[in-house]
Copies of this chain bind each other. A is one copy, B any other.
Amino acid sequence: MTTIKDVAKLANVSTATVSRVLNSNGYVNSATKERVKQAIEQLNYLPNDVARSLFKGRSKMIALFVPDIMNPYFPELARAVEDVTNRYEYTFVLCNTDDDIEKELTYLSALQQKSVDGFIIVSSTISEEHISKINAPIVALDRILSSKLSSVTVNNREGARQAVQFLKSIGCKRIAHICGPEHAGNTKTRLQGYLDEVQDEDWFISSYILPGEFNFEIAKQSTMKLLKDHPEIDGIFAGNDLMGAGALSAAANLGISVPADLSVIGFDGIALGETTTPSLTTMAQPIYDIGSKAAEMLVQQIDDNQISIRSEEFKVVLTERQSTISRR
């Protein structure tokens, strides 16, 4: 490894001068600057970021915590965060937490020890108490972790309502809901939106609500059971697209035709929804925008070095595809 000393020696200046041209601050004669640059070039010198970090107490790294990288929602999100952090010359660290508090805490302290500059966190388990121990900026994503944190979310409840309204508008008379896992914050909000729309309907019974996981196979199995027990169901609002795809697959397996006999709508708007047959109607989140906004907010907080809490709520938008059709 060649160091700043080597450069200094070759250019016949002090390390301070080299540092000055490296960071383009302080005065430095243009002739010597040239010499230094030459030396840097010649030695193929790259500054040691670790030494820099040690001095500055900051590492130019940003971490993103996601509960499940295998759920396509999160790679899309990660992609957005990566793009923004790169633009600001941060190194991007992606952490997969399984929504497991132990893993989250392990990551949190490991990264703090590395002087990571900030966190973007999607979590249902991290509490205010844990957060108070972190002294780097945090932006909560997808779910609000604390009123003391900036956050970027979507209108889950309203979006869920719109999904059900849409099913009604195309003529569905018996609408079921597949929930996400109980521990996820989203699950309750989306369920609430569903209930807003159906609980006063005379046809509504609680067995139209399916407990679930954000998982294709489990959703498929429970939908099969649902459709067997309740053949009258003609509309399904799935808590996310992965489960929506599961519902589609369940219907196909039972020989129920979608959308002719059953309409299905999901939530999230991941690319997977376009690959199913029929393709999946969904309440689409502006996933990329959400991720970039969170990253932008975090970078700003890091730079400003002041606590300005901001909350952004994006709106989901109905994206009609083949899994729903008017039956009127």
Contact = CB atoms under 8 A, between A and B. Distances in A.
A218 to B, nearest CB: 12
A148 to B, nearest CB: 20
Nearest to A109: B46
Q: Quick one: which of A50, A51, A110, A114 has the most chain B CB within 10 A?
A: A50
A276 interface: yes
The size bracket of the interface on A is 35 or more
A112 B47 CA distance: 10
A115 B46 contact: no
A252 B76 CA distance: 26
A93 interface: yes
Contacts of A75: 69-70, 72, 74-75
A328 B59 CA distance: 64
Contacts of A279: 249
Listed residue (A57, A112, A271) with the most chain B CB atoms within 10 angstroms of its CB: A271
A70 B59 contact: no
Contact of A91 (B49, B93, B246): B93
A112 B96 CA distance: 23
A115 B48 contact: yes
A94 interface: yes
Contacts of A96: 78-79, 82
Interface string A78-113: 110010000000011111100000000000011111
Which among A51, A53, A74, A216 has the highest number of chain B CB atoms within 10 Å? A53
B82 A76 contact: no
Contact of A50 (B54, B94, B109, B245): B54
A248 interface: yes
Contacts of A110: 49, 91
A170 interface: no
Interface of A: 1, 46-51, 53-54, 57, 59, 61, 69-70, 72, 74-76, 78-79, 82, 91-96, 109-115, 216-217, 242, 245-246, 248-249, 252, 271-272, 274-279
Given A79-B96, A217-B274, 8 more contacts: A50-B50, A50-B59, A69-B82, A78-B94, A82-B96, A93-B94, A272-B275, A275-B276
22 contacts: A1-B57, A48-B54, A48-B113, A49-B113, A49-B114, A49-B115, A50-B50, A50-B54, A50-B114, A50-B115, A51-B54, A54-B54, A69-B78, A91-B114, A93-B94, A216-B275, A242-B275, A248-B277, A272-B272, A272-B275, A276-B277, A277-B277
